[in-house]
Amino acid sequence: PAPRTILLTGAAGGLGTLMRGLLPSYGYRLRLLDMLPIDGEPDAITADLADRDALRAAVRGVDAVVHLAGISLESTFEKVLRANIEGTFNLYEAAREEGVRRIVFASSNHAVGFTPRPQGDDPLIPVDTPRRPDTFYGLSKCFGEDLAQLYADRHGVDTVSIRIGSCFPEPTTVRMLSVWMSPADGARLFHAALTADVTGHTVVHGSSANTRLWWDLGPSRALGYEPQDDSEPFAAALLAAQGDLDPADPAHANLGGAFCTDPPIWPY
Ligand code: NAI
Ligand code: 15L
C-alpha cells in the first residue's frame, strides 16, 4: 500500500519548508521533526538527531521517512560527524527498531562533486559514477548512501537516495541552470521515491528536466518521476549578469561548483 503518514526530518529548513507546503497535496499526512521549533503545525517534534529516544518515538507508526535534517553546507568534520553521520545512523536505527520500511534520503551532488562537469558532447554523468566527495559534507552523503545500502541488505529497510542538485525557488547561478530542481519537481520526485515499486537501495539524480542538464535522469524517471520544469527561462538573465562558466576556473570545472574550491565559496 502507498505510504500515507510521513516523518519529514529537517522540516524547519529551506527544503523542508517547501515540501511541507507541497507534499500534502499528494495525500500525505506529515509529522515534522527539526531541532528548531516549528510553530502552528499540529504534529511537530522539536528534537536533535542525537536524541535516540526522541527519534524512536518520532518514527513510531509512520509509513516512511523523508530524511532532510542535517548540516547542508560544508562545516567542520566534528559537526558533520555529529549531525550527518551519527545523526543519520540514529535515524536508521530508530526506523529499523520501529519497523519502518521506506526512507527517502536527501543525498547531494556533493557526494560526487569532484566529477568533471560534461562539456560539449561529453556524456551525461551516470548515477553509478565513482564517488568523489568535494567536502566533509559530501563525504557524509557518501556515508548516508552506504548506510542505506547496509540497512537495505541487512535489515530490509529500503531507501531511495536522491542526489539533489539545487532545490530553491529559482536558480541563482549559471551552474544552477544545469542542476536546478524546481520545488514542484522536487515534490514530484519525493512522491515518486516514496511510492515506487523498488526494493533495496536506489540512487537517483534530483533535478528538473533542464536544457543544460549535466546528469542522467533515466533512473529518476524509472521511479515514475516526470519532471515538468526547465531552468532555461532563467538562462538569459543569469548569463548576462554572471557570464558563462569558465572551464579554467576551478569553481566552474566540476559538478560541485565552488564546493570544490579551497575553501568552498558561495555562490555555487
Ligand atoms: P537547511 O540547512 O535549510 O535545513 C536543514 C534543517 O535540518 C534545518 O532546519 C536544521 O535545523 C535541521 N537540522 C540540522 N541538524 C540537525 C540535527 N542535528 N537534528 C535535527 N535537525 C537538524 O538545508 P536544506 O537546503 O533545506 O536541505 C535539506 C536537506 O537536503 C539536507 O540534508 C541537505 O544536505 C539536502 N540537500 C539540499 C539541497 C538543496 O538544494 N536545498 C541540495 C542537496 C542536498
Ligand atoms: C547542497 O548539497 C546544499 O545543501 C545546497 O544548499 C546547495 O548548495 C546545493 O547543494 C548546490 O549544490 O547548489
Residue 61 backbone zone (phi > 0: left; psi -120 to 50: alpha; other: beta): left
What's the rounded mean pLDDT across residues 113-139? 97
Q: Identify the domain containing residue 27 by its residue range.
A: 5-260
How far, in Å, are 48, 52, 155 from residue 56 at the CA level? 12, 6, 16
Question: Within a domain: residue 268?
Answer: no
Tell how far the Cα of 72 is from the centroid of ligand 1, in angstroms.
Answer: 5
Helix, coil or strand: residue 76: coil
Q: How far apart are CA 194 and CA 2, in angstroms?
A: 8
Eight-state DSSP code of residue 168? S
Question: Within a domain: residue 267?
Answer: no
pLDDT band at 267 (very low <50, low <70, confident <90, very high): low
Q: Is pTM beyond 0.90 here?
A: yes
Judged against a pLDDT cut of 70, whether residue 5 lies above it is answered with yes
What's the rounded mean pLDDT across residues 222-238? 98
Ligand 2 contacts CB of residue 90 (under 6 A): no
Pocket test for ligand 2, best of 71, 72, 114, 179 (most atoms within 8 A of CB): 72
Q: How far apart are CA 34 and CA 128, in angstroms?
A: 31
Tell how far the Cα of 135 is from the centroid of ligand 1, in angstroms.
Answer: 16
| CA dihedral for 74, 75, 80, 84, sign (positive or negative) | negative
Nearest atom, ligand 2, residue 141 CA: 2
Strand partners, 46: 34
Q: What percent of the chain has pLDDT over 90?
A: 96
CB-based contacts of 231, cutoff 8 Å, min separation 6 = 171, 176, 177, 178, 180, 208, 210, 211, 212
Strand duo 64-67 + 102-108: pairing = parallel
Mark whether 137 is an active-site residue: yes
How far, in Å, are 2, 94, 154, 224 from residue 201 at the CA level? 18, 18, 11, 16
Judged against a pLDDT cut of 90, whether residue 112 lies above it is answered with yes
Question: Within a domain: residue 192?
Answer: yes
CATH number (domain holding residue 113) = 3.40.50.720
Q: Whose CA is nearest to atom 9 of ligand 2?
A: 166
What's the rounded mean pLDDT across residues 34-60? 97
Amino acid 266: pLDDT:
66
Amino acid 73: pLDDT:
96
Count of the separate structural domains present in the chain:
1
Judged against a pLDDT cut of 70, whether residue 268 lies above it is answered with no
**Prediction ipTM score:** 0.99
Ligand 1 contacts CB of residue 75 (under 6 A): no
How far, in Å, are 89, 120, 129 from residue 126 at the CA level? 27, 16, 5
Tell how far the Cα of 29 is from the centroid of ligand 2, in angstroms.
Answer: 27
Q: Are 145 and 111 in contact (CB under 8 A)?
A: yes
Eight-state DSSP code of residue 85? I
Question: Within a domain: residue 199?
Answer: yes
**Which of 28, 137, 151, 268 is flagged as catalytic?**
137
Amino acid 197: pLDDT:
97
Pocket test for ligand 2, best of 80, 110, 115 (most atoms within 8 A of CB): 110
pLDDT band at 39 (very low <50, low <70, confident <90, very high): very high
| CA dihedral for 131, 219, 168, 26, sign (positive or negative) | negative
Segment (H or E) for 167 = none
Q: How far apart are CA 32 and CA 46, in angstroms?
A: 8
